Amino acid sequence: MNTTAQTLRFNYHAILAIYRFEMARFKRTLWQSIVTPVITTSLYFVVFGAAIGSRMGDIDGIHYGSFIVPGLIMLSLFTESLNNASFGIHMPRFTGTIFEILSAPVSAFEIVLAYVGAAATKSILLGMIILATANLFVPVHIEHPLWMAGFLLLVATTFSLFGFIVGIWAKGFEQLQFVPMLIITPLTFLGGVFYSIDMLPDGWRTFSLFNPIVYVISGFRWSFYGTADVGVGISLAATLVFFLLCLGLVWLIFRTGYRLKS
């Protein structure tokens, strides 16, 4: 068999082995991975959807409790994608087993596909569970289900790639929490999870448009109710740009060996 044919062949056994290992870790931490985010999201519905939502009018003709559903799904999706992917690749670096993976007949693409695929699977599963939970509290209508599914997959993959980068960049477990807690979570809360940016004064609305999370939440909310703070095409383009940027950074990491062997 020639070299080109060997290059084009995937090492499916290696991909499946890494993927299964990550999913097994997910099962071992089921309480932390599923139950805790669902309880937290349920509390958001109780506080914001019931207590505060009953005192607020509709937003763009949508009941407030229903309006916040897409944003809460995205909030959990961002956090879990980052945490799962970053922890998944950081642990082999921490224990030293990363050298076994790098020396095995597994390409960089296959390594990334396995880790990012597992992280995206976990976060999408969590998103679906939260969507089902939301239906227990408020009526939820999905106007564009295919867009919702495709956009959910794109966002989960993108932020899992970002988490993979964070996991390689982080020198310790403290740094693993730095980006999700001190950057992504604040940007998400300021990105329209609980409100439409059209409700803000002109100055603050313009400022919010520099927040990339606004475009992700807006695009996802459009799939539910057909309404968005920014054009759905712009939301898709912004998400794709971030995806390609993360993809380029991952390629650069394996190209240069950045922190993979140290």
Mean pLDDT of 57-62: 80
- CA-closest candidate to residue 119, choices 157, 155, 90, 145: 157
Q: Kindly state the helix (H) or strand (E) to which residue 53 belongs, with its residue range.
A: none
In order of 30, 101, 123, 193, 202, the CA distances from 246 in angstroms are: 28, 21, 18, 24, 32
- CA-closest candidate to residue 64, choices 260, 242, 199: 199
| pLDDT score of 147 | 95
| pLDDT score of 53 | 64
- CA-closest candidate to residue 11, choices 101, 132, 75, 146: 101
Mean pLDDT of 170-177: 86
Whether the CB-CB separation of 115 and 18 falls below 8 Å is answered with yes
Identify the sign of the CA torsion 21, 250, 178, 218: negative
| pLDDT score of 127 | 93
Q: Does the pLDDT value for residue 25 go beyond 70?
A: yes
Most confident option among 54-58, 95-99, 239-243:
239-243
How does the average pLDDT of the chain come out, rounded?
A: 87
> Taking the model in full, what pTM does it have?
0.90
| pLDDT score of 34 | 82
| pLDDT score of 177 | 85
Q: 50 pLDDT band (50/70/90 cuts)?
A: low
Q: Does the pLDDT value for residue 2 go beyond 60?
A: no
| pLDDT score of 51 | 65
Express each pLDDT in 182-237 by its tens digit. Answer: 888 889 888 989 889 988 888 889 999 999 999 999 999 999 999 899 999 999 99
| pLDDT score of 4 | 40
Express each pLDDT in 6-23 by its tens digit. Answer: 444 778 888 999 999 999
String of b and e for 5-38 (b: at least 16 CB within 10 Å)? eeeeeebeebbeebbeebeebbeeeeeebbeebb
Express each pLDDT in 130-158 by its tens digit. Answer: 999 888 888 888 999 999 999 999 999 99
